Amino acid sequence: MKLFNGANIVLSEIPVLGVQLFREKIISQCQEGARLVNFFGHEEVDGGVRLFAFLGWDEDSEITVFSTRILADHPQYESLTKDLIQAHWFEREVAEQWAIIPEGHPWLKPLRYHANYRGKADIWPDVSSRPIPGSYSFYAVESPEVHEVGVGPVHAGIIEPGHFRFQCHGEEVMHLEIQLGYQHRGLELLMRGRDFKRSALLSEAIAGDTAVGHSIAHCEVVESLSGCVIPPKAQAIRAVALELERLSNHVGDLGAMSADVGFLPTSAYFGRMRGDYLNLLLALTGNRFGKGLCRPGGVLFDVDSQMAEEFCRKLKGYKKEFEDVSNLLFTKPSVLARFEGVGAISMENAKKIGLVGPAGRACRLERDVRIDYSSGFWQFSHIPISLAATGDVFGRALVRRQEVVRSLEFLLRILSSLPQGGIFVKPPALKPDSLALSLVEGWRGEIMHVGITDENGGFARYKIKDPSFHNWFGLSLAMRGQEISDFPLCNKSFNLSYCGHDL
């Protein structure tokens, strides 16, 4: 069954395949050029679990969806990860949420350390009551010359908790294992039900720095299921907010990367410029992170012509400023010496592990939801894709720089010709027993929300996927053979979300 971004479908129309065929179809389609964009389970009435696979065909702008049933008395299937590395994290998530064993999974560990959703015996005994890390095995290299360095979950800086376990030979990192889950809040369970006011608020809290991206994805799911078409002006304002969010984060990241290599001028300038974009979001929505703007049915704050002109005037100034400061950063030999060749991932590996967002585009993977699966305002106003070929820290910095410039051009274009009309229509009730999906290119990459409704039109299952879910493994891979002292820089160049991963 092929779907486009923002589509909805009656649940019973999604094909159900036999477990073996399901597995073979995923693997064969991924060999033909598709990629796994989502993979999750949903409990059925009889106690079994229906597994859904979403495969993205970037060039056709289509998403194939099919499913299989895992019976209650036989909670296992043959692991995909053996033949499809992209499925690694997804299968661990399914195993943890539904206590289903992917047989032959090479590294079956809990992701978030919570009890499963079905109230059955967990695959790992006491998974939710034992502290992380401690009781679960980490990949270890045994040799008297190899030493292990554990960082976190409490860090020296003000960042989110995560545990990083390095296997080092001298200064060289042989392997890095990342253990997250400290921020698990049970968001997918909280999103269930019919309280859409609450779910819109929750969606803004999935990842604090991607409030706009996740709330747009959530709104699109609700709008798709209710058949609500929002006014063009609301779509344009959402696009403005999403690009402002991207600008503030990309500029902030470039500043943080300068700070990590000890280059102070651009670190300070970019830090200040990030504030400029946040202030624009504040002017637009009343919140520096864009909370409270997007609600199912449209947006809550209008942009009048005076405000649009003011934004354009300011953005032109910011563009000039950004070009000057980024030239300073990208022409400094000592900075380039630190950026180039550090934390490189080959295009082939990036494809295998399914990198998305700027990290993927830095490896020349042409993946950008705004282009591949354009929805909302991006159907009318296009933005070019920004790619780099090196896949290293420099590539990730360069992609950010290009995206900032292109987002600014995009914003200047749409702000000078905003559509007229209303900004909100009240969405009708949701279709029962249906599934809707929404993809949004957040600043970190592909955000995907899938909502499945019950017979009353409330959410029976809500699946959230932050781009970090794909990319954390990329960070581990990027660190192989690197110096341990380059880890902070590598980490910053990915800048992944802990809470977006932990949900």
Partner 1 sequence: MVLLFSPFFLGVITRVKAFFGGRVGPSVFQPYFDLAKLFQKKCVYSHTTTWIFRAAPIVVFASVLAVSLMIPFGAFKAPVRFSGDIFLVAYLFGLARFFMIVAALDTGSSFEGMGASREAFFSCLSELTIFMNFVTLVLVAHQISLSGMIGAEIPLSWKLMGPTLLLVVSSFFIVILAENCRIPVDDPSTHLELTMIHEVMILDHSGVDLAYMLYGAAAKLFLFGGILVPILLPIHTGHGLMDTLIFVVGMLGIAIFIGLVESGMARLRLNRVTNLLLIAFALAFFGFIVRLWRG
* Nearer Cβ to partner 1 (167/375): 167
Could you tell me the CA-to-CA distances from 199 to 60, 159, 191, 376, 384 in Å, in that order? 31, 26, 5, 21, 33
Angle at 349 between CA 347 and CA 355, to 5 degrees: 80
Please name every residue paired with 57 in a beta bridge, in sequence order, or none if there are none. Answer: 62
Whole-angstrom distance, CA of residue 503 vs CA of residue 498: 8
Whole-angstrom distance, CA of residue 486 vs CA of residue 166: 12
CB atoms within 10 A of CB 143: 10
* Nearer Cβ to partner 1 (173/221): 173
Stretch that binds partner 1, among 42-50, 117-125, 284-292, 330-338 (CB under 8 A): 330-338
Total residue count of the chain as it appears in this document: 503
> Does residue 269 bind partner 1 (CB under 8 A)?
yes
CB of 328 to partner 1, least distance (A): 11
Whole-angstrom distance, CA of residue 255 vs CA of residue 170: 30
Give SS3 for 19: helix
> Does residue 324 bind partner 1 (CB under 8 A)?
no
CB atoms within 10 A of CB 28: 11
Per CB under 8 A, contacts with partner 1 among 143-182 are: 147-151, 156-157, 171
Q: Which of 1, 10, 229, 264 binds partner 1 (CB under 8 A)?
A: 264
With CB under 8 A, what is the number of residues at the site for partner 1?
Answer: 32
- 268 Cβ neighbours under 8 A, 6+ residues apart: 255
CB of 318 to partner 1, least distance (A): 15
> Does residue 3 bind partner 1 (CB under 8 A)?
no
* Nearer Cβ to partner 1 (85/278): 278
> What beta strand segments (E) does 331-393 contain?
none
> Does residue 21 bind partner 1 (CB under 8 A)?
no
Stretch that binds partner 1, among 88-96, 202-210, 244-252, 478-486 (CB under 8 A): 478-486
Per CB under 8 A, contacts with partner 1 among 83-112 are: none
Stretch that binds partner 1, among 240-248, 252-260, 393-401, 464-472 (CB under 8 A): 252-260
Asked if residue 15 lies in contact with residue 1, where contact means CB atoms within 8 angstroms, the answer is yes
* Nearer Cβ to partner 1 (21/141): 141
* Nearer Cβ to partner 1 (16/149): 149
* Nearer Cβ to partner 1 (457/488): 488
> Does residue 335 bind partner 1 (CB under 8 A)?
yes
Q: What tokens were used for 399? A: 């992609």
CB of 340 to partner 1, least distance (A): 10
* Nearer Cβ to partner 1 (255/290): 255
As a three-state string, the secondary structure of 131-170 is CCCCCCCCCCCCCCCEEEEEECCCCCCCCCCCEEEEEEEC
Q: Which of 267, 326, 402, 471 binds partner 1 (CB under 8 A)?
A: 267
Could you tell me the CA-to-CA distances from 85 to 91, 362, 444, 471, 497 in Å, in that order? 10, 20, 21, 12, 21
* Nearer Cβ to partner 1 (57/494): 494
CB of 280 to partner 1, least distance (A): 20
* Nearer Cβ to partner 1 (19/268): 268
Stretch that binds partner 1, among 93-101, 199-207, 253-261, 438-446 (CB under 8 A): 253-261
Asked if residue 242 lies in contact with residue 213, where contact means CB atoms within 8 angstroms, the answer is yes
Query: Taking the CA of residue 343 as centre, how many other CA atoms within 13 Å lie in the half-sphere pointing to its CB?
Result: 28
CB of 248 to partner 1, least distance (A): 18
Q: For residue 62, which phi and psi values (nearest 5 degrees)?
A: -125, 150
Stretch that binds partner 1, among 55-63, 80-88, 258-266, 459-467 (CB under 8 A): 258-266
Q: What tokens were used for 396? A: 């990730």
CB of 392 to partner 1, least distance (A): 13
End-to-end CA distance of the chain: 29
Q: Which of 108, 251, 342, 464 binds partner 1 (CB under 8 A)?
A: 342
Q: Which of 81, 258, 374, 407 binds partner 1 (CB under 8 A)?
A: 258
* Nearer Cβ to partner 1 (190/484): 484
Could you tell me the CA-to-CA distances from 46 to 40, 127, 462 in Å, in that order? 18, 25, 19
Stretch that binds partner 1, among 76-84, 223-231, 256-264, 368-376 (CB under 8 A): 256-264
The residues binding partner 1 (CB under 8 A) are 147-151, 156-157, 171, 258-265, 267-269, 272, 332, 334-335, 337-338, 342, 483-488
